[in-house]
A and B are shown apart, each in its own frame.
Chain A
Amino acid sequence: MPVVLIVAESQPDGQLRKATLHAIAAGADLAAKAGAELHVAVLAETPGPLAERLRDVGAKVIHTLASPSYAHYLAETYAPAVAELVKSVGASFVGAAATAQGRDLLPRVAARLHAAMASDVIAVSGKGTDITFTRPMWAGAVIAEVKLKTETKAFTVRATEFPAAAAGQPPAEVKVVSGTAAVSSPTRFVDFKEVKSARPELTEARIVVSGGRGTKGDFKEVEALADELGAAVGASRAACDAGWVPNDWQVGQTGKVVAPQLYIAAGISGAIQHLAGMKGSKVIVAINKDPEAPIFQVADYGIVGDLFKVLPELRAAIHGAK
């Protein structure tokens, strides 16, 4: 039986990165269409806990690869191991979430296997060996259906387009892949500086409040509303480029792609590359002084006005209703 292999990802704290669950759901969808089995690969210094966490989310087999060289993720150590596993299980498809790690790793795995790859996949269609991937191009201005013409096929998954794989499914068989020795790498991990936040993760939050150029660098009201709502804070590229807020707050095609229940854009004009990162939100609110701002074309509710007046009033209304 053909195999779809999904590479799991852990966060620097060792916990599962939630995007993996969405990639597993996409993998299950693909496996059903391709008539394949779903397998998951867990690479870590000690992969046991992560494998256990993923035991009942729909995979038939979980392969664990343990090595001290996996303590810190490096494409140069992970790619050979994943490629070997793809060959030994005879996988036709290898994928991962389109996170920074997935986007770094999968093309290197694909290169080793001389496999073609589709990045940022938003849907899978077809049957048997006739599978097509749907993915955005030109910052989401175009949706493309692509076919990969190599024997082995690689892909990354845009997490917001697939549900998280549900727990409580029949348990996977856990197979320990032996002989994963330490690999020498021309790249050395130096350090990781975590941007710590008490707020929810941007890509996982139910509500996101974002600020743009209209804040003129003052994010106090954006943050205050976010905290009132228990929301994550996002930003436009202009706000990040100006150094007003951390880079990893950027929402957009080249930043984070988010799809919360509610997205509030304050002082963001709505450049195409920003829209590409938040158009999937269920409800969009735009607050902008310029009635012609493109953001209003995608907003469910728009209010023309000064964000420094609107945001505190909205916060007071929400607080008052609690």
Chain B
Amino acid sequence: MKILVTAKRVEDPESKIKVKADGSGIVQEGLKYKMNPFDEIAVEEGLRLVAKHGGEVVVVSIGPKEVQEQLRHALAMGAARGVWVNHAGPLDPMGAAGLLQKVVEKEKPDVCILGKQSIDDDQSQTGQYLAEWLGWSQGTFASKLDSLESEAEKAKAPALELSSDGKTLQVVREVDSGLSTLACTLPAVVTTDLRLNQPRYASLPGIMKAKSKPVEELTPQALGVDVGLKVEVLRLTPPPARKAGVKVGDVQELFQKLKNEAKVL
């Protein structure tokens, strides 16, 4: 199988995001960056599928030269090679999906695995745009029946199940009030939810090997994609602050406050 995965560079989800005073963006100073956590899950799932069925994982990242750090991380995890779409400046889901579509048409993978959303803009759209524009099957919010503490997870078994004829991929999806299962005819686009797998760490030999793995550089111009923004962010503001409340001494006091002050019991 040939699997294309994405590795978007985002702010470390543990970092505190602050809005600039003029609302034009976020304060970049002191921020750390890493691969979008949902994309790490996508890379991991790609590696597990390839370990079981053979083939290669190709990782794509779009952004300025710094995104090569995220590509190298995915290569250190075990991806075979990287594709860097060199683009500085903001990008919206239509721009990202347009670029990915061209990369897919070039690479012709059997499956594209993307994070279900990136933790910066939280739009959760790129995979679906990509699937529609390619005319492919989509399996969004992929999860699994087993927990992250299960034996299958410890054995690093892929959660996405390839049919015996190799033509369809079974995707268990997290939806409202339960889990739905789809059979996606290949080629397909899959987007990953949190509990699909626990991504591996890059090993030291992996990091060494990654240095010599090939990374191809492309540009939106060379791919012929207009990345002009269709979603324009006008202004950012911090969310309305919640007033810090009071600490109560004991359960009786809590009960009285809930009953008589907040009147919610």
Contact = CB atoms under 8 A, between A and B. Distances in A.
Nearest to A207: B264
B149 A243 contact: yes
Interface stretch (B1-9, B71-79, B201-209, B245-253): B245-253
Decide if the interface of chain B is mainly helix, strand, loop or mixed: mixed
Given A104-B140, A193-B178, A187 B183 contact: yes
Interface stretch (B43-51, B168-176, B216-224): B168-176
Contacts of A145: 233-237
Contacts of B229: 149
B204 to A, nearest CB: 27
Contacts of A285: 254, 258
A179 interface: no
A75 B231 contact: no
Contact of B184 (A186, A296, A310): A186
Interface in A215-237: 229, 237
A110 B121 CA distance: 17
B259 interface: yes
Given A149-B232, A273-B13, A11 B177 contact: yes
Interface string A185-203: 1111111111100000100
A179 to B, nearest CB: 22
Interface in A277-322: 279, 282-285, 291, 296-304, 310, 313-314, 317-318, 321
B245 A116 contact: no
Contact of A149 (B140, B178, B231): B231
Contacts of B264: 207, 261-262, 282-283
B124 A107 contact: yes
Contacts of B265: 229, 262, 318, 321
Interface in B169-217: 170, 173-185, 188, 193-195
B233 to A, nearest CB: 5
A167 interface: no
A180 interface: no
Contact of B248 (A103, A283, A301): A301
A139 B233 contact: no
B21 interface: no
Given A136-B239, A142-B26, A242 B254 contact: no
A169 interface: no
A120 B178 contact: no
Interface stretch (A22-30, A48-56, A57-65, A247-255): A247-255
Nearest to A189: B182
A108 interface: yes
B136 interface: yes
Interface residues of B, number: 84
A297 B71 CA distance: 37
A71 interface: no
A96 interface: no
Contact of B194 (A144, A185, A195, A254): A254
B148 A242 contact: yes
B123 interface: yes
A182 interface: no
B132 A103 contact: no
A213 interface: no
A299 B173 CA distance: 33
Nearest to B127: A107
Q: Which of B149, B179, B180, B252 has the most CB of A within 10 A?
A: B180
Nearest to B133: A111
B233 A146 contact: yes
B234 to A, nearest CB: 5
Contacts of A117: 93, 123, 125, 231
Contacts of A161: none
B238 interface: yes
A132 interface: yes
A187 B139 contact: yes
Nearest to A83: B132
A297 B244 contact: yes
Interface string B121-145: 1111111110111001111110100
Given A188-B185, A189-B182, 4 more contacts: A195-B178, A283-B262, A303-B254, A310-B254
19 contacts: A17-B176, A103-B140, A103-B141, A108-B131, A139-B122, A141-B17, A146-B234, A147-B232, A189-B180, A190-B182, A190-B183, A201-B177, A247-B179, A262-B258, A283-B258, A297-B242, A301-B246, A303-B247, A318-B265
Interface of B: 11, 13, 16-17, 19, 26, 92-94, 97, 117, 119-129, 131-133, 136-141, 143, 147-150, 168, 170, 173-185, 188, 193-195, 229-239, 242-248, 250-252, 254-255, 257-259, 262, 264-265
10 smallest CB-CB distances across A and B, nearest first, come from A243-B147, A107-B128, A111-B132, A116-B230, A300-B245, A100-B175, A186-B137, A107-B125, A190-B181, A313-B251
